[in-house]
Amino acid sequence: QVQLVESGGGSVQAGGSLRLSCVASRTFPGPSCMAWFRQAPGKEREGVAANAHGGMTTVVDSLKGRVTTSRDASKKVLYLQMNNLEPDDTAMYYCAADIRGTTCSTAPGQYTSWGQGTQVTVSS
């Protein structure tokens, strides 16, 4: 297990941008997956993007073109850059990690370590 702490959420107007960060409590000994999820009130948690240790990234189709994800050189920090935000992007955003993952998906069931979340609110 690893502890994850998200930051960077806030309130923005539609069309604005935010960059979320997630810091892991330790480095990973080998291949790993980190991912972003979000959950709006009354809705199920949904995948946003995933990032493999080797750099391969996956973004869900509905967010392609507006969202990118990356990890820093240490692989401990995961970023989510969100542009042209819409009110429907309002949600709690969570970071998750699969410390031994090699194929990184945006399925919540793959991930065993979760952060507490950071709130993103987009007003029209």
pLDDT tens over the chain, length 124 residues:
899 999 999 999 999 999 999 999 998 888 899 999 999 999 999 999 999 988 889 999 999 999 999 998 888 999 999 999 999 999 999 999 999 888 999 999 999 999 999 999 999 9
54 in Cβ contact with 70 (< 8 Å): no
Please give the pLDDT value at position 108. Answer: 96
At 9, the amino acid letter reads G
* Cβ neighbours for 44, distance < 8 A, ≥ 6 positions apart: none
φ, ψ for residue 16, nearest 5 deg: -80, 180
CA distance 108 to 113: 10
Question: Which has the closest alpha carbon to 38: 59, 24, 23?
Answer: 59
CA-based Rg of the chain, rounded to a whole angstrom? 13
